[in-house]
Structure 1
Amino acid sequence: MRKIFLNIALASIVFLGSCKKDNFDAPESDFSGRLLYQGQQIHVRHAGFGAELWQKGFGKFGVINVNFNQEGMFSSKLFDGNYKFTVSNSQVPFLWPKNAAGRPDSLDVNLSGDKVMDLEVRPYFMLRSPVITYSAGAVNATCSVEKIITDANGRDLERVTLYVNNTQFVDDQSTNNKAKQDLSGAAISNPANLTMSVAMPTFSPVQNYAFARIGIKISGIENMVFSPVVKLTF
C-alpha cells in the first residue's frame, strides 16, 4: 500500500511540474517594420531572406529568425528585452552596413511593448513608375529602372522580368509564376523606358483573374527587387 501511495505522489509531482512548465507566459510584444529607400517601400521575394534578432541569455546569445514578406515587411511576437538586429545574408538586393571588421553591423533594439522599426537601406536598383495592365489576352507592363549604387559597390543589371501567376504570391520561383518575359540587361539601351508583354496563361481550374509584378535581377545577387503585386481581371 505504501508503494502505491509513493507512486501516486511521484506522479502528482511530475504532473504539477509539467503544468508549471506549460504555463509560461507567451511573448506579447509585436516587433515589426519595413524595408525602405528614401521612404519608398522595397518589395522582395516572399520569405526569400530574413533578419536575425540576437538576445543574450544564460551566458550566451540565442538567435530568432524573422522573414520578410513580399511587401518587404517583417513581424515577430517577442518578449520585452534588449536585442541585436542584423541582416547577415549577402544575397539581399541592398547594401547592409558593415562594422570595422567587415562583418554585417547590428542595430540595438530595446523592446518594451509594441515597436515599429522601419529600415532605411540602399538597394542596388529601384523600379520606378511600374504600370501593369491586361488587354486582348496579354499582360502588358511599362517601367523604368534606376541604378542607386553607382560607386565601387555597385553591380550590373542582369535582367528585368515581368511575372504572372494565378495566386497573389508572384516572384522568380518556378512555383510562383505561370508566365514571364525577360529583358536581358545587356539588351537594355534605355532603362528609363522599358516595355514588356506576355500572353495570359491558361489556369486550371479556370479563373478570370491573375496577379503580376515586375522584378529586377541584380548580377551576382540571388534575391530580386520587385514592384508591388497587381491584380488583373479579364
Structure 2
Amino acid sequence: MRKQFIYLSLAATLFCGACKKDNYEAPDAGISGNIVDALTGKNVPQQTLNGAKIRLFQTDFRNPEPINSAIKADGSYANTFIFSGNYKVVAEGPFFYKDTLNLNIKGNVQADLKVTPYMEVTCELVSKTSTSITVRVKANRTPNNTQKIARVAVVAGTTTGVDINNYYNVNGTSNGRVLENTEAIADAVVEAKTYEFTLANLKPGTSYYVRGAARTINNGNFYNYASMLQISTNP
C-alpha cells in the first residue's frame, strides 16, 4: 500500500510539473476593421465561406506562417485571438489590393484596408408573392478593370451566410439561386443590361436573405456581391 502511495505521489508531482512547463501565456491582442472601397469609402460586401480573407504575418519571426481570418458578409473582419507583435496585414479577395499594412499590434487595434473591387453589384426588389421573389441585378466592372465578366446571379437563403455556393435548396432544384453565364456575351452588353431574376418555389411567410452577385474571370473565381436584402415572402 505504501509503495502504491509513493508511486501515485510521484506521478502527481510529475504531472503538475508538466502543467507548469506547458502553461504558456494566452493570446493577448486582436485586430478588426473593414474592407473599404477606396473610391466610395463604403464597405465591400464579401463571401464568408471560401471567400475573401485577411492574412496576418507576424514579422517578429523568420518565414512566418499566415494567420487567416474570414471576412464577414458586410465587409468587416475581426481576429481577437493573436499575440502582441509586429504584423504585415494582407487582404485577398475579389478586389485589387496593392498595399500592405505593417502594424505593431498591442491590445485591440482597428485597421481598415482600402481596395478596389473587381465589380460593383446592385440588387433591388421588384416584387414578391407567397412563393417567389423577383429582383433586378446590375453588375459593372470598376474603372480600368479589363477582366471578362463571367457570371451574373442572385442567391437567397434563410441565414446571413448565403452566397453563390450556400443557398436555399429544396430537393436539388436550386430554387435559391438563379445564375446566368455571360462569358460569351460582350462586356459592354452585360454592363448595359439590368438582369431581372425570379426565385421561385419558396416558402410562404418566410424571411430570406437575398444578394445579387457577379464575378469576373479572376484568380480564385471570387464573386462580388451587392448589399444584403432581407425580404419576407407573402403569407
Same fold (TM over 0.5): yes
Does residue 214 (structure 1) correspond to residue 212 (structure 2)? The answer is yes
In the alignment, the residues of structure 1 paired with residue 9 and residue 67 of structure 2 have an alpha-carbon distance, to the nearest angstrom, of 39
Contact 2:162 2:209 in 1 (8 A): yes
In the alignment, the residues of structure 1 paired with residue 190 and residue 64 of structure 2 have an alpha-carbon distance, to the nearest angstrom, of 49
Contact 1:134 1:232 in 2 (8 A): no
Matched-pair identity in %: 22
In the alignment, the residues of structure 1 paired with residue 61 and residue 193 of structure 2 have an alpha-carbon distance, to the nearest angstrom, of 56
Residue 181 of structure 1 is aligned with which of 178, 183, 193?
178
C-alpha RMSD of the superposition: 2.9
**Structure 2 stretches lacking a partner, 5+ long:** 170-175
In the alignment, the residues of structure 1 paired with residue 4 and residue 87 of structure 2 have an alpha-carbon distance, to the nearest angstrom, of 50
Question: Structure 1 residues 58, 189: closer, same or farther in 2, change over 3 A?
Answer: closer
Does residue 155 (structure 1) correspond to residue 155 (structure 2)? The answer is no
Aligned pairs for 1:65-214 (under 5 A) are 65-77=68-80, 78-87=82-91, 92-97=93-98, 106-128=100-122, 130-136=123-129, 137-150=131-144, 154-173=146-165, 175-178=166-169, 179-185=176-182, 186=185, 189=189, 191-192=191-192, 194-203=194-203, 208-214=206-212
Does residue 42 (structure 1) correspond to residue 44 (structure 2)? The answer is yes
After TM superposition, give the deviation of residue 69 of structure 1 in Å.
2.0
| Aligned positions, number | 218
After TM superposition, give the deviation of residue 134 of structure 1 in Å.
4.1
Contact 2:95 2:116 in 1 (8 A): yes
After TM superposition, give the deviation of residue 157 of structure 1 in Å.
1.2
- Aligned to 2:19, what secondary structure does the other structure show? helix
- Aligned to 1:15, what secondary structure does the other structure show? helix
**Structure 1 stretches lacking a partner, 5+ long:** 98-104
Question: Structure 1 residues 209, 133: closer, same or farther in 2, change over 3 A?
Answer: farther
After TM superposition, give the deviation of residue 28 of structure 1 in Å.
3.3
After TM superposition, give the deviation of residue 216 of structure 1 in Å.
1.0
Identify the residue that residue 228 of structure 1 maps to in structure 2: 227
- Aligned to 1:182, what secondary structure does the other structure show? strand
Q: Normalised by the size of structure 1, how large is the TM-score?
A: 0.78
Instruction: Select between 117-126 and 158-167 the one with higher mean Cα deviation.
Output: 158-167
**One-letter identity of the residue aligned with 1:93:** P
**One-letter identity of the residue aligned with 1:200:** A
After TM superposition, give the deviation of residue 172 of structure 1 in Å.
1.0
Q: Normalised by the size of structure 2, how large is the TM-score?
A: 0.78
Identify the residue that residue 172 of structure 2 maps to in structure 1: none
Measured against aligned partners, the alpha-carbon deviations of 1:112-171 in whole angstroms (never above 9, x if no partner) come to: 22111111111121124x3135423432222433321425xx201112101122332221
Identify the residue that residue 11 of structure 1 maps to in structure 2: 11
After TM superposition, give the deviation of residue 4 of structure 1 in Å.
5.8
- Aligned to 1:19, what secondary structure does the other structure show? helix
After TM superposition, give the deviation of residue 29 of structure 1 in Å.
2.5
Question: Structure 1 residues 60, 2: closer, same or farther in 2, change over 3 A?
Answer: farther
Question: Structure 1 residues 196, 63: closer, same or farther in 2, change over 3 A?
Answer: same
